Structure 1
Amino acid sequence: MMEWILPLVLICVGFLSGVIGEKFIFNKLKIFAANRHIPGSETIFSSLQRMPFIWFVLAGFFSAIISAPLKPDVIIFLRKIIIIIFLSSVTLVLARLTAGFVKLYTYRTEIVTASLISNLARTAILVLGTLIVLQTVGIEITPIVTTLGIGGIAVGLALQDTLANLFAGFYLIISKQVRTGDYVKLDDGHEGYITDITWRNTTIKELSNNVIIVPNSKLSSAIFTNYHLPVKEITLTMNVGVSYDSDLEEVERVTVEVAKEVMREIAPNLTENEPYIRFHTFGEFSIDFTLYMRVSEYFDQRIGKHLFVKKLHKRYRQAGISIPFPIREVYVQENNS
């Protein structure tokens, strides 16, 4: 029994070290990094979650196996199991780190990210780590890779639609025709913000908060309008008509002033783009013109039109400018016979 005291002590030390390392040291470092706003710290610590405890416990068991009175073949077997667990945990951490940093990079460059890229990076690391684990424990991986290659042909034929959507998703991302966060309108009338591009579908969130699921292959071949390309800023147009008695110079001045006021409220970074109007039609009841002003993105058109109509109506009343409406005169001829 005395020969087993040291192995048991080493296991207990590993367990206690894992608890201390996880509950105190790891959490303290996590709080410290969060307070200092260290870039990427959140991704690193979320990837390492529970891993310090597992590694300390594995170290305790590894030390216990070496010092335990066991047969050599049993020691070799147990050491292989510990190595497999350790390498698997390292692979999992690297997969989490890779996916997390891919998301972080794409978030900084494109505001939000498509999960297809991060999932592909995670899968690649997991596959590579699995092959390394198999090679480490003495399993020849060349026949496995060859078998997977041959089997991949059969799987590819059986999953043509899935692979078509997968490659269509890559095409959409690489070509940058659509990006997560873009506002698009499909040829069938559906429109909304791209929230994610997965290995099979593209998710579009409508303004009504409903979600539209579009297969990547259908989206890549569809006719759609991307209101965030080449830039998010778009020109809002409003058609207005004033009476024939109006002073058109005064109409232009007041209308542009109101448009500038609206832009200062909803698009202050675009105020260097002067709004303007263009008269174009002598209508039946009014002289018609179109206002042009810039807004930050497609969705801002709604609030822009709302504010412009309210403010313009008020200013026109103050300036004595009337917006005519159709009047129909009906003559009734009496028959005295």
Structure 2
Amino acid sequence: MQFLSFDFTTFSASNHKLIQYIVVALIIGLVAVILSRILQKLMKVYFERSSRVLKVDPTRYKFLRNAVSFVIFMLAVTLIFYTIPGLRTIGITLFAGAGIFAAIIGFASQEAFSNIVSGIFIVIFKPFRVGDNIKIGDLHQGTVEDITLRHTIINNFENRRIIIPNTVISGQTIINSTIEDEKVCTFIELGISYDADLEKAIEILRDEAEKHPYCIDNRNQEDKEKGIPKVVVRVLGFGDSAVNLRAYAWSANSGEGFEMKCDIFESLKKRFNAQGIEIPYPHRTLVFKNQPPHSIP
């Protein structure tokens, strides 16, 4: 009887511990599920809002929410293995092997992971959106056509698609012409001869810029009361063979500003020719040394 009583007590104690382990595992799993649902909901709202700002499809960020859930469940499984002594040794062996495999995969996909992280930063900080006219560094300029977590597609002015990894964009200076205010001030620069009538040249330059359909009035009421013209023309300095002028003409966006600049250059050439205002160009004088003397007939 004493032997049977001892076995029954041991069996009851082991069952009690087993029930405790099961309860702890269920609680950890339940907390992981609730936390995963909450984070997925918050990330869904955030990514949808960011996607509306960036003007991209929010479903492309869905895998990020799934990745967060995967990490949470992996941490939950790790905690369960660590809590139950009988599974701790097996868990250490499994996770050690998984850690080595993850290190190999991580090393092989380091560049891809860097692009994903940079894509997440673009989603968070929103330096540009689809449809923005941007310039990346000194090489690439155009309209943003698509933004993914790996790369950004830019359609340049030659209608060519430039696919730039997000890590490259993160390391470059970005000039965004449309992120806040699309208006741009276009510099129209040219030189006139020292013999030309300076006041007439300034008047013609201002008149051609102001009458262009893309030229807008960016003055406030105070500027108008002071008599500041719609297009300001300034003398930048004196070159080797020309007096350099610059007109400051505003347009609604960079595309219209470029067209306006080209049209004004064309009209200025015609007006300057008609008004006798010379646009100088380089002259070269060639001197030939050590020439044989001409024979006197």
TM-score band w.r.t. shorter chain: 0.5 to 0.7
Amino acid at match of 2:60: N
**SS, match of residue 324 in structure 1:** coil
Q: Determine whether 1:164 maps to 2:114.
A: yes
Corresponding position of 2:258: 302
Q: What is the rounded CA distance, in whole Å, between the counterparts of 2:277 and 2:75 in structure 1?
A: 79
Matched residues in 2 for 1:152 and 1:233: separation?
54
- Distance 1:153-1:223 versus aligned 2 partners, 3 A rule: farther
Q: Secondary structure at the match of 2:167?
A: helix
Q: What is the aligned partner in structure 1 of residue 157 from structure 2?
A: 207
Match of 2:84 in 1: none
**1:302-321 alignment to 2 at 5 Å?**
302-321=258-277
**What is the root-mean-square deviation of aligned Cα atoms in Å?**
4.1
Unaligned segments of structure 1, at least 5 residues = 1-94, 129-141
d(CA) in 1 for partners of 2:158, 2:233: 32
* Higher relative contact order structure (alpha carbons within 8 Å, sequence separation ≥ 6): 2
| Distance verdict in 2 for CA 1:326–1:308, change over 3 Å | same
**Within 5 A, what are the aligned runs for 1:134-153?**
146=76
1:299 partner SS: helix
Could you tell me how far 1:255 is from its partner in structure 2? 0.9
Within a 5 Å distance, the mapping from 1:1-337 to structure 2 comes to 102=48, 107=52, 110=53, 113-115=55-57, 117-120=58-61, 124=65, 146=76, 157=103, 158-159=105-106, 160-187=110-137, 189-229=139-179, 231-262=181-212, 265-268=213-216, 270=218, 274-328=230-284, 335-337=294-296
Please give the alpha-carbon distance, in whole angstroms, between the structure 2 residues aligned to 1:113 and 1:153.
38
Residues 217, 324 of structure 1: alpha-carbon distance in 2 compared, 3 angstrom cutoff: closer
Q: Which moved more, 1:196-205 or 1:216-225?
A: 216-225
Secondary structure of 2:135's aligned partner: strand
| TM-superposition CA deviations, 1:201-249 (whole Å, max 9, x none) | 1112222122122222222123343333553322222221222232222
* Contact 1:184 1:193 survives alignment (8 Å): yes
Asked if structure 2 preserves the Cα contact closer than 8 Å seen for 1:241 and 1:286, the reply is yes
Q: Is the 8 A contact 2:132 2:178 kept in 1?
A: yes
- Letter of the 1:277 counterpart: V
> Does structure 1 retain, via aligned residues, the 8 Å contact 2:232–2:247?
yes
Deviation, structure 1 residue 254? 1.6
Which AA in structure 1 matches 2:56?
A: A
Shift of 1:166: 2.2
CA change 1:239–1:162 in 2 (3 A) is: same
Greater radius of gyration (CA): 2
1:260 touches 1:271 (CA, 8 Å); kept in 2? Answer: no
Residues 245, 197 of structure 1: alpha-carbon distance in 2 compared, 3 angstrom cutoff:
same
- The verdict on how the C-alpha distance between 1:219 and 1:155 changes in structure 2, with shifts beyond 3 A counting, is farther
Q: For 2:230, what is the secondary structure of its paired residue?
A: coil
CA contact (8 A) 1:270 1:296 kept: no
- TM-score with structure 1 setting the length: 0.52
Q: Within 2, Cα distance between the matches of 1:302 and 1:204? A: 19
Deviation, structure 1 residue 328: 4.6
User: Are 2:215 and 2:260, in contact at CA under 8 Å, matched by a contact in 1?
Assistant: no
Residue ranges of structure 2 left out of the alignment (5+ in a row): 1-40, 80-94, 221-228
Q: How far did residue 278 of structure 1 move?
A: 1.5
Aligned length: 221
Distance in 1 of aligned mates of 2:102 and 2:160: 33
The one-letter code matched in structure 2 to 1:304 is M
Instruction: Give per-residue Cα distances to partners, 1:86-135, cap 9 Å, x unaligned.
Output: xxxxxxxxx9xx89x948x855xx4x6133x443258759x99xxxxxxx
